[in-house]
Structure 1
Amino acid sequence: MKYLLNFLLLFFLSCPQFTSAQNINNEQLLQDIKYLSSEELEGRKPLSDGSLQARAYIKERFYSLGLTSQYPDLTQYFDFRNRRDGKLYEKAANIVAFLPGSESEKLIVIMAHYDHLGRKGDEIFYGADDNASGTAAVLALSEYFSNNRPKHSMMFVALDAEEMGHQGAKALVDDFPFPLEQVILNINMDMISRNDDNEIYASGTYHYPFLKPIIEKVAISQQPKLLFGHDVPGTGRDDWTNASDHSQFHKNGIPFIYFGVEDHKDYHKTTDTFENIQPDFYTSTVGLIANIITVLDNDLLEEQ
């Protein structure tokens, strides 16, 4: 019995120490996604009143944590022309917060887009899963790591105009406040709040296979079920490598992990509402992502 107890103690001490989902502020997480996908914000189309309100809300949340930024008022403004209608959008905005690491100036960029399709006539495309879910998760992770300082510096970014061709991510990479070589990892979250099969994908390890065993050791004992894939070249729409904002970092050779679910019946429809998210799945997913980032933060430092 003595030897068994000693073995169990050594086993426990050698295992990665994971935060439970309860260490994420789940009440605030759900409050954030509910507000960001509310009727008041009207789907957060770039430059709309709802988008401006979303910006102000995200900035207030970052400021409440004492986070700083390399951009004045946490805001990176940019202009772009929408390829579909030719309209020029001036002063679209990414909201960018910064947390210095305890041991490294290398950067992990954690991001999600906050824009959606907005209002079309009398219909509102609320964009709860796409992508109020990822935006609220960025806020939750910024709070978690503010209270549990990471080894690497972290940048928390709410990106604008993803739905119009990843414009916010392009602007961020083109006007990045540090040499891009400082970024060792990009985490992108786009649609993470619902899945009937209790599955979330971590896409990107086909391109950056060294990340897979690190992630596997976290995910093996946790829920929801984490799957790999949707990143194999030549598989058409099944390949998510260029499907969201992480593509702009990948084009610059920066390793990425894209967390997301497969499309559901409410994707890009007016029924993508807060009432249709799955709160238990969502909070567990954000807790799992927090654990994965924590282990990546530790393990990638050891490899430098």
Structure 2
Amino acid sequence: MRIALAGLAAALAFALPVSGQEIDTGQAIEDLRVLTTDEMDGRRTGTQGAADARAYLAGRFFMAGLVAFGETFEQPFTYTLHRSSEQLDGINLIGRHGPDDGEGPVLVITAHYDHLGNCGGQICNGADDNASGVAAMLAIADVLRDTPPEHLIIFAALDAEENGLNGARALVADLPVDQDRVVLNINLDMLAINAENELPAAGAFHFPFLRGHIDAIEVAEPTRLIQGYDSSEWGPGGDWTYSSDHAAFHDAGIPWIYYGVDFHEHYHQPTDEFEVVQQDFFLSNAQTVLNAVVYFDERLETIASELEAFRSALPEAEEAHVGEDGRFMKPGME
């Protein structure tokens, strides 16, 4: 079901967090639309389309009041493709909200902005994958501009996810704060299409202390939140631990929550267009994630303490589930 923009604000007047913070629905839809236009040419890493998307995002970072860690929001990096010696370049965008005392716990929000470019001669615009996640992240940044968080929150629009989670790997390898301070990653990847309005939240299988917190977060209608998709118990293809950028945080031992829908007929197809986005579902998901960010910001010291207790109880660190050459792999890359 689609809702006219004029009625979106009223439609989402329910299920607000206690703080009353609410996303700008019109701006969120506009961001999603712009990122999926043919002018972006599918946002493939290293192309002019990706550069155009990055320029738009840098402008939105500025509008959202995000502060750069250096002279610009850009974090350039070099990587090699899986089973290749060719070096390629990517560029992440990183900004922050909130105070930085150099010591307190940090929350990192991630969403990859790259997509596939052209698929069989057609543009793959990647509306759900992952213009939706980026648009939701921008909506959260807009809210925190007006109501600053208690803790440092890093916003990262990541590049080169589609060819091996390379932007996330670069970010974790070169975080703008001490890695020990990062106590949670919230990763957003595909928030806009599901016939049952189901939004999985993965991660608590690996970090069980998160389960009760995720259950306590207010879920906006019509979203139906499901915890799972983070272990072999979900069957073949049902363990998404290494399916998106949160994998880089996982292998660093940093807790993560991955919000993203199940695979659907438009996944990695030219039909993943703005026109097929379920706007009410996308907006309720963005609101739900905002609720989560507000919730965790208010409890980040608690999360840090629970993480310390969790780590101290582990007999030894889990061995990372990576490829033969030690690189992260998305499904189908083996």
**Alignment check: 8 A CA contact 1:102 1:150 kept:** no
CA distance in 2 between counterparts of 1:251 and 1:100 reads: 26
Counterparts of residues 192-211 of structure 1 (less than 5 Å):
192-211=191-210
The amino acid across from 1:264 in the alignment is: H
| Sequence identity percentage | 38
TM-score normalized by the length of structure 1: 0.89
CA distance in 2 between counterparts of 1:132 and 1:84 reads: 28
Deviation sequence 1:76-124 (CA, Å, 0-9, x none): 001112226654313x100001112488732100010000000245311
Counterparts of residues 132-211 of structure 1 (less than 5 Å):
132-211=131-210
Deviation sequence 1:136-190 (CA, Å, 0-9, x none): 1111111111212111210001000000100000000111121111101100000
Structure 1, 114-123 or 159-168: larger mean CA deviation: 114-123
Aligned to 2:226: 227
SS of 1:237 mapped into structure 2: coil
SS of 1:248 mapped into structure 2: helix
SS of 1:163 mapped into structure 2: coil
CA distance in 2 between counterparts of 1:38 and 1:193 reads: 16
CA distance in 2 between counterparts of 1:78 and 1:229 reads: 32
Aligned to 2:284: 284
Deviation sequence 1:199-250 (CA, Å, 0-9, x none): 1011001111111112212246754110000001464421001110001001
The amino acid across from 2:258 in the alignment is: Y
CA distance in 2 between counterparts of 1:297 and 1:66 reads: 18
The amino acid across from 2:68 in the alignment is: S
Structure 1, 229-238 or 292-301: larger mean CA deviation: 229-238
Aligned to 1:76: 75
Structure 1, 270-279 or 93-102: larger mean CA deviation: 93-102
CA distance in 2 between counterparts of 1:271 and 1:112 reads: 21
CA distance in 1 between counterparts of 2:111 and 2:141 reads: 12
**Alignment check: 8 A CA contact 1:26 1:283 kept:** yes
The amino acid across from 1:205 in the alignment is: A
Structure 1, 114-123 or 40-49: larger mean CA deviation: 114-123
CA distance in 1 between counterparts of 2:212 and 2:120 reads: 48
**Alignment check: 8 A CA contact 2:100 2:152 kept:** yes
CA distance in 2 between counterparts of 1:221 and 1:99 reads: 24
Higher helix share: 1
Cα RMSD of the aligned pairs, angstroms, is 2.0
CA distance in 1 between counterparts of 2:175 and 2:161 reads: 17
Aligned to 2:106: 107
Alignment counterpart, residue 92 of structure 2, candidates 87, 94, 101? 94
CA distance in 2 between counterparts of 1:96 and 1:25 reads: 21
Aligned to 1:257: 257
Shift of 1:257: 0.2
Gaps of 5+ in 2: 1-15, 306-334
TM-score normalized by the length of structure 2: 0.81
**Alignment check: 8 A CA contact 2:119 2:270 kept:** no
Structure 1, 147-156 or 230-239: larger mean CA deviation: 230-239
Aligned residues: 287
Gaps of 5+ in 1: 1-14
